Amino acid sequence: MTLLTASPAHAAVLWDGNADKGTGVFAAILCPGGVARVKNWGEGHGNFFEFHKPAGVDRCEGHSMAGAEGHLADNKTLWFGWSLATKTGTAQAVFQWKSNGTNDQHQQNYPVLLFVENGRFKVWYVAPGEQWHLIGTAAWSADSWHKIELGLTTRSDDTGSIQVYKDGSLIASRTGVRTWDDRGNKPRWGTYRGGWTEVSSQVWVDDPKMGTSRADVD
């Protein structure tokens, strides 16, 4: 007798940010002076999100996930997956694992940052005290889609972990990190200035998802 089992019982898609549903899949759009909208180039990705940050503007981002923030907590395993394309090789911060609160309310403003900079994709872990650690990097080609998968175990002590896959290859893996700040964290997709407020940047995000396993967001 053969037992056919479905996917593991603990696996689950916790949030599906399909662009067919519009920008309301995000909890908020933070894009003053820029453009955040649904776009479609008539290719296989169908509808996706466009974030355009003109020069002189700090950010154009989709902040967090409507209806799914209850899943964000300490001591969780969370996977985020999406497709990303950038107009140039310097799109600045394209994802932030952003801490809630401001200034002295947090020890880490952004424990994990993903950058596209000078033709490289970069994974930063930013420890308390604004200590930046480059924990992974890979070549980046502008104007084409790339699959990004980020796995986090959230910990407010130093026992968390970070894994990042780009186009199916593991490019960053780090344990012994603090991934959950005092007031918690939320994901942000789009483009944030980094050191280059004067640079215009345009990025496209398709099919962002959150789940409890990599398979959920693959």
User: What are the residues binding Ca ion (CB under 5 A)?
Assistant: 45-48, 206
Choose between 145 and 196: whose C-beta lies nearer to Ca ion.
145
45 vs 186, which CB is nearer to Ca ion? 45
Residues 6 or more apart whose CB falls under 8 angstroms from that of 23 comprise 29, 36, 37, 38, 49, 62
- For residues 63 and 186, the answer to whether their CB atoms sit within 8 Å is yes
160, 153 Cβ separation under 8 angstroms: yes
Least distance between Ca ion and beta carbon 22 (Å): 12
Is residue 184 within 8 A of residue 69, CB to CB? The reply is no
Min dist CB 63 to Ca ion, Å, is 20
- Residue closer to Ca ion by CB (options 117, 206) is 206
**Residue type for position 122:** K
Least distance to Ca ion, CB of residue 171, Å? 24
Q: For residue 164, what are the β-bridge partners?
A: 150, 172
Shortest distance, CB of residue 49 to Ca ion, whole angstroms?
9
What are 34's two structure tokens?
């820029």
Identity of the residue, 187 or 208, whose beta carbon is nearer to Ca ion in the bound complex: 208
119 DSSP 8-state letter: T
